[in-house]
Structure 1
C-alpha cells in the first residue's frame, strides 16, 4: 500500500522531466562523441502566434517585444534575424524535436537491454453461490528484478518477489510468501559469439551520434538560408531604391528634352520616348514594391513569426557589406594572385613601352597601352587562379568526403548491409541454447523474509532446434546479398555525385566572385557614360535616346553589382557550410572554422563504422 501511494505521487509532469533528463543526457553524450564537446540543447519553443500581435505572449528579442499593429517598424540586423529564427522557426524546431525523439527511443532501447523491472498486482473477489456460501478472496504480488542482455546473445535475469493470499477473514487466514530467482539463457551456436545480439543497440547508438552531426550540419545550412533570404530582401530593397533614383534622373532628362523640343533642338518623338521610359520605370517601381513586400513576408514566415509583426532587415547591413566588399575566396591565396597580376602588368608595361616608344604622350596611345596591360594582367590572374582552383577543388572534395553526413550515412549503409549478410547466414546454423537457473522461496506460511536457501531449486536445459526446410533462410540470404550490392552501388554513386557537387559549387563560387569584379567595372563605366550623356544632352550634343540608354545601363549595372555581391556572399557561406567549415552557437550566430568538422571522431569511436563486405561482396571504391 505504501508503494502504491509513492507511485501515485509521480505526476505526468515529473515523468516528462524524467524523459527530458534521459534524452538530453544521451544527446550530450553523443555530442561529445561526434563534436568533441557538449553544446546547449533544448526543445523549448518560443514562436509568437497571431495572438501576440494583440499584445499577448509577445516574443522577446534581446529583451524587447517585436512591434505590431500601429507600432513603428523595427529594423533587424543579420545577427538579430539569426537569433530570432533559432528561437521561432518551425523548421528549426522540427529538427530539434526529431533529434530528441531519436534520443528518447535510444534511452528506451537501452532500458530494454539492461534495466530494472517491477510490478505490483492484486485482486479482490467476492463470489456468492445460490443457496450456498459466500467466498471472499484476495491476492497480491510485488515483483522486482534486473535483466541484462549480453553482447554474445545471452540474457541474465535476477528477480525477487513477495506474494500474499487471504480470504479476508483475518490475519490468521492470510499467507505471505517470497521468492528469489537467477536465470541465464545463452545461445551456443546460432546467434552466439559474434556480437549479433548487440547489433541493433550498436546501430541505434551510432545512428544517434550521426544524427547529432546531422543536426549540427542543419544548423549551419539553416543559418546560411536565413542569411541568403536576409540579403535577398535587402537586394530587392536596393533594386527598388535604384529604380527610384532612375525615375528622378528620367524626370530630369524629360525636363531637359522638353526644353530642347521647345527650342527646336529635339523632336517631339524624343520627348515621347523619354516620357514612355519614365512611365515604364514607374510601372516597374510599383511591381518592385509588391515584390519586396512579398519577399519580406516570406522571410518573416521563414524566421517563424507572423507577417503581422512590423520588422524588416536593416539596409545598413547591405551598405556595410558593400563597403566591406567580398570576403576572401576559400582555399585561394588572393595575395599571391594579386602579386602575380601586378608582376604581369609590370612586364606588359615594359614590353609595350619597348615596342611603342612615346605612346604614353598620346591619348589614344595611352588608352591602347592601358588596354594591353589590363589584358595581360587579367590573363595572368586567370591562369594563376585556375591553377589554384584545381588544387583547391581537390582539397574541397577530400574535406567533403570526410565531413558530409550523407557520405557517412552511405558508408554506414554499406557496412550494415554487409553485416546483415553475416547475420542472415548465421540462420543456417542450428539453434542450440543453454538455460541455467536457481531459485529459493521464503518459509511458509508467514515468514517470507526467511529464505530457504538450503532448499533451493536448480535447473539446466539444453535446447536443440534445426529445420530441414531452409527455403526462407535461403531467400533471405540471397536478398541480403542483393541489398549489399545495391548499397555499394548507391555509395559509389554518392561519392561520384559528391565530387561533382563540390567541384560545381566551388566553380560557381569562383564565377560569382569574377562576376562581382566585372560588375564593379561595369558600374564605373555606366556612371561615366551617364554623366557624359547628361552633359552632352544639356549642350545639345546627345540625343534623348543616348541619355535613356545610359540611364538604363546605369540602373542595370547597379542592380547587377548588388546581385553579384549578394550571390557571392551567400554562395560562399553555403559552400563553407557544405564542408563543415561553419560553427553555429546557441544564439544562432555562425562563425567560420579554420578546420572542417569531420566525422573522423565517429569513425574512431565506432571502429566498425568502416565499410565491411561479406566474403562474397565486392570491395568498395575509395
Structure 2
C-alpha cells in the first residue's frame, strides 16, 4: 500500500508539472521585463499575455434612443423599425482605449513578441548556471528456470557549469549495484566520482562566450522600445479612429438636418408655387436638392456603419457587438481645445533626435555590430585549452561511497589547435566588418528619416491648425448666410431659390468641414508628439502631449 501511495504522489506531481512550468516561466519573464523597464524611458504598461475574461462592455451605460442614428420616414410610408437602445452600450473614449489595450489582437501580438524576447533571455542566462542531470535505471533478471534471480541498478548524477571566462566544469557520480534475490546470496556496489575543467585561453574565451547572453539582454531592450513605440502609434490610431467614427456620425446628423430643412423649404415652395408666387423651375430646383440630400443621408449613414464595424475590429471586439460611441466626446474636444505647439522647428528636431526610441535601438545595433567584429577576431585565434580532471572509484568495495584518496587519478594537460584552416572564420570576419558599415549607414538613414518625419508632422500640424481656424470662420459665415436668406424668405422678400439652396449647402459643408478639421487638429498634435518621442501613454492608453516640458 505504501508503494501505491508513493506512485500516486509521483503521478500527481507529474500531472501538476505543466502548470508549474508555466508559472515559473511567467515569474522569470515578468521579472526580467520589470527590471529592463527601468532602463527604457517611456511609460509603464501591463505586459501580461493572458487576456482578461470579463465582458469588456459590462460597465458601459446603456444607450439612449437619441444616441442611435436617425431614420428618415417619408409621409405615407410605414415607420422604419427602430433598434432597441437598451441593447446597445455607449463606449467613451477612455473606455475604448482600455478595451483596445486588453482585447486588440494586434496589441496582443506585440505583447507576446516582447514576452518571447524575455523568454529567450532566460535560456541564455541559464547557460551560465549549473545544469544538473540525473539518470536511474534498473533491471530484474530471472535466469536458469528460476534458479537465479538478480536485481541490478545504475545511477548517474552530476552537473556541468559554464563560466563567463569560457571555463567549463563537469562533475558526475556514477554508481551501480546488484543483488541476488535467489541463488548465490551475494551483493555488489561500486561508484565512480569524476570532475574535470577546461579553460580556453585564446579562441573561445572571454567575449566569445558571453556574446549570446549579451545579445539576448540587448534584444529585450530593443523589443521593449519597439513595444513602447508601438503603443504610442497604436493608441493614436485608436483615438483617431474613434473621432473619425464620431465625425461620420455628425455628418449623418448634418445630412439628416439638411434633408429636413429642404423638405420644409420644398413644402413652402410648393405652396408659393400654387399661389403663383414661385416659379415651377425654382420649385423643381428645391425638389432636386431634396432628393440629393436624401441620397447624401443614405450614403453617409452607410459610411458611418462601415466605419463603426471597422472600429470594433480594431478594438478586438466581434463585429456584431452592439455599441455606440459617446457623441459628447467631440463636444468635450471642442471645449477643451487642442494643445498648442509653441516650439520652433529646430527645437522639435532636436527633441526628436534625443527621445526617439527607435533611433536609440539603431545606435545600439551599431554597437552590436562592433562587438561581433571582436567575436569574429577571437575566432581567428588559435585554440589553446588547458584541462584538468580527477576521478576516484570504489572498485572492490561493496560500499558505494567509500572513496579513498589513494585510488584517485589526476590528469592535466593542454590542447593547441593551430590556425591552419580558417577560411570560414575569415569569411565571417569580413562579413562582420561589412555588417558594421551597414549598421552605420542604417543609423544615418534612420536619423534622417526621423528628422523628415517630424518636419512632415509639424507641417501637418500647422496645416491642421490653420484649417481649423478657417473652418471655424467658414461655419460662422455659413450660419449668417442661412439666417439672412431665411429671414428674407419669411419676410416675403423676393429671394432666389438657388441663393437659399446654396446657403443651405454651404452650411452643411461647413459643419462637416469643422468636425473634420477639429479631429485633424487633435490627431496632428498627437502625431507630432509621437514622432518627437514625447507622447505619454498611460497603462490603459490615456494619451497626453508634453510639449510644455521642452519649451
TM-score, scaled relative to structure 2: 0.86
What residue in structure 1 maps to residue 55 of structure 2?
59
**Would you say 1:16 and 2:22 are equivalent positions?**
yes
Q: How many pairs were matched up?
A: 523
Q: Do the aligned partners of residues 71 and 439 (structure 1) sit closer, same or farther apart at CA in structure 2, a change above 3 Å counting?
A: farther
What residue in structure 1 maps to residue 169 of structure 2?
156
Contact 2:57 2:89 in 1 (8 A): no
After superposition, what is the alpha-carbon deviation per residue over 1:264-318, rounded to whole angstroms, capped at 9, x for unaligned?
3432111111111110110111111111111111111111111222111110111
What residue in structure 1 maps to residue 522 of structure 2?
569
Contact 2:62 2:88 in 1 (8 A): no
What residue in structure 2 maps to residue 51 of structure 1?
none
**5+ long unaligned stretches in structure 1:** 48-57, 333-387, 598-622
Task: Using the TM superposition, give the Cα deviation of residue 583 of structure 1 relative to its aligned residue in structure 2, in angstroms.
Answer: 3.2
Paired residue for 2:467, among 508, 515, 518? 515
RMSD: 3.1
Task: Using the TM superposition, give the Cα deviation of residue 137 of structure 1 relative to its aligned residue in structure 2, in angstroms.
Answer: 5.7
Paired residue for 1:235, among 247, 259, 263? 247
**Would you say 1:185 and 2:163 are equivalent positions?**
no
Paired residue for 2:535, among 556, 573, 582? 582
Q: Provide the rounded CA distance (Å) in 2 between the counterparts of 1:228 and 1:37.
A: 20
Paired residue for 1:427, among 360, 379, 384? 379
Q: Do the aligned partners of residues 252 and 132 (structure 1) sit closer, same or farther apart at CA in structure 2, a change above 3 Å counting?
A: closer
Q: Provide the rounded CA distance (Å) in 1 between the counterparts of 2:187 and 2:496.
A: 116
Contact 2:124 2:212 in 1 (8 A): no
Name the SS of the counterpart of 2:173 in structure 1. strand
**Would you say 1:501 and 2:453 are equivalent positions?**
yes
Q: Do the aligned partners of residues 481 and 17 (structure 1) sit closer, same or farther apart at CA in structure 2, a change above 3 Å counting?
A: same
Q: Do the aligned partners of residues 63 and 544 (structure 1) sit closer, same or farther apart at CA in structure 2, a change above 3 Å counting?
A: closer
Paired residue for 1:491, among 436, 440, 443? 443
What residue in structure 2 maps to residue 32 of structure 1?
38
What residue in structure 1 maps to residue 264 of structure 2?
252
Contact 1:160 1:178 in 2 (8 A): no
After superposing the two structures, state which structure 1 stretch, 569-578 or 228-237, moved more.
569-578
Paired residue for 2:128, among 89, 92, 113? 113
Paired residue for 2:476, among 517, 524, 533? 524
Aligned residue runs from structure 1 range 438-449, under 5 A = 438-441=390-393, 445-449=397-401
Q: Do the aligned partners of residues 5 and 175 (structure 1) sit closer, same or farther apart at CA in structure 2, a change above 3 Å counting?
A: farther
Task: Using the TM superposition, give the Cα deviation of residue 16 of structure 1 relative to its aligned residue in structure 2, in angstroms.
Answer: 1.2
Q: Do the aligned partners of residues 541 and 442 (structure 1) sit closer, same or farther apart at CA in structure 2, a change above 3 Å counting?
A: farther
Task: Using the TM superposition, give the Cα deviation of residue 592 of structure 1 relative to its aligned residue in structure 2, in angstroms.
Answer: 4.1
**Would you say 1:407 and 2:350 are equivalent positions?**
no
Contact 1:96 1:215 in 2 (8 A): yes
Contact 1:28 1:39 in 2 (8 A): no
Paired residue for 1:479, among 431, 453, 465? 431
Q: Provide the rounded CA distance (Å) in 1 between the counterparts of 2:111 and 2:486.
A: 58
Contact 1:443 1:450 in 2 (8 A): no
After superposing the two structures, state which structure 1 stretch, 555-564 or 78-87, moved more.
78-87
Paired residue for 1:546, among 489, 499, 516? 499
Paired residue for 1:269, among 263, 277, 281? 281
After superposing the two structures, state which structure 1 stretch, 271-280 or 59-68, moved more.
59-68
What residue in structure 2 maps to residue 41 of structure 1?
47
Q: Provide the rounded CA distance (Å) in 1 between the counterparts of 2:61 and 2:425.
A: 64
Task: Using the TM superposition, give the Cα deviation of residue 552 of structure 1 relative to its aligned residue in structure 2, in angstroms.
Answer: 0.9
Contact 2:133 2:159 in 1 (8 A): yes
Contact 1:582 1:590 in 2 (8 A): yes
Task: Using the TM superposition, give the Cα deviation of residue 217 of structure 1 relative to its aligned residue in structure 2, in angstroms.
Answer: 2.5
Q: Do the aligned partners of residues 261 and 71 (structure 1) sit closer, same or farther apart at CA in structure 2, a change above 3 Å counting?
A: closer
Q: Provide the rounded CA distance (Å) in 2 between the counterparts of 1:280 and 1:65.
A: 36
After superposition, what is the alpha-carbon deviation per residue over 1:552-587, rounded to whole angstroms, capped at 9, x for unaligned?
111111111100101111221232233332333333
TM-score, scaled relative to structure 1: 0.77
Contact 2:194 2:389 in 1 (8 A): yes
Task: Using the TM superposition, give the Cα deviation of residue 398 of structure 1 relative to its aligned residue in structure 2, in angstroms.
Answer: 2.5
